[in-house]
Structure 1
Amino acid sequence: MTGFGKIFIVIGIVFIVIGLLWSFIGKLPGDLTFKKGNVTFYFPIMTSIIVSIVLSLIFYFIGKIR
């Protein structure tokens, strides 16, 4: 398998994990939502933290495998 093949597999796995996490933990208690008139602003702080931790673990284990 070439270097590009491994990179594409890792990127695909990362996107799958992000998609699964996003569907299961869409709006956590730490996520901020502001509504004013017709404008809604959504800032997913907790979701971002959890996704960051999961991605860090994935890349850590991928680095250990090499």
Structure 2
Amino acid sequence: MMKEFGKLLVIMGLVLAAVGVLMWTGWGRGWLGRLPGDIHYTRGNFSFHFPIVTCLLLSLVLTLLMWLFRR
């Protein structure tokens, strides 16, 4: 059981590092957080941004990855 948990931690660390490198290089800067359906409201000096579709997309991708690694 501990071997499987260790393997999962290593894989999650590698995925997190890969995502960090991609974000550091600027990949996704133009569209990530600006997908159709993301909420952005501005009035006067108040601005509210909630990337709901981006959150759903990231959740779907992470769920699929976890499902694949558990098989």
* TM-score (normalised: structure 1): 0.69
Distance of aligned partners of 1:53 and 1:25 in 2 relative to their CA distance in 1, 3 Å threshold: same
Runs of 4+ that moved beyond 2 A: 17-26
1:37 aligns with 2:44: yes
1:13-59 CA-partner distances (Å, limit 9, x unpaired): 04618948853433011001011211211011111110110000010
Higher relative contact order (CA 8 A, sep 6+): 1
Structure 1: unaligned runs, 5 residues or longer = none
Which 10-residue stretch deviates more, 52-61 or 19-28?
A: 19-28
After superposition, the CA RMSD in angstroms is: 3.0
Residues matched between the structures, number: 62
Distance (whole Å) between structure 1 residues aligned to residue 58 and residue 28 of structure 2: 8
Match of 1:51 among 54, 58, 69: 58
Match of 1:10 among 12, 21, 36: 12
Structure 2: unaligned runs, 5 residues or longer = none
Identical amino acids, percent of aligned pairs: 29
